[in-house]
Structure 1
Amino acid sequence: MNYGETIREIRLSKALTQKEVAGNIVSLSFYAKVEKGENNLSADKFFKILNKLNIEIDEFLFVHNDFKENPKKNDSKADSSIPR
């Protein structure tokens, strides 16, 4: 699943239209292509879209990773148990 598909999944779960999410961030046609994986968002616009969806990046990644915690997030815990 690409980020656009994840955005679509979250948008639909919140019963929002593409027009409501795209708002004044990007054009509706551009946004529709983002959801299809045909266009990419800049980091700035990506975070604006997340704000419109009322979701934090950690929540977004949780959904994107099939509702599993980000494995990289736990790497620092493993490193802390290594004796020095």
Structure 2
Amino acid sequence: MAGYTHVKDEHLKRLRRIEGQVRGLARMVEDDQYCIDILTQVSAATRALQSFSLGLLDEHLSHCLVEAAQQGGPEADEKVREASAAIARLVRS
């Protein structure tokens, strides 16, 4: 079971809201809106995705990683490597 299963509906709701923001960006471009206004909305959508990502990462660390660490062995090492790589990708984005 995924660490976020207990809040899956909340995650889907957030992602639909972000999807709506992105669709709004497309409409702004179609309607030839002012560049700065579009960039402001891009920033808001980016922050929303980053916030979602950090929440999901937190759930992964507190559920999947902790569970693997308690069991130990190569699976725990792999989970730590996965988490480190995910954090690195988030930092670079």
Q: TM over 0.5, yes or no?
A: no
* Structure with greater Cα Rg: 2
Q: Which has the higher helix share?
A: 2
TM-score (norm 1): 0.27
TM-score (norm 2): 0.25
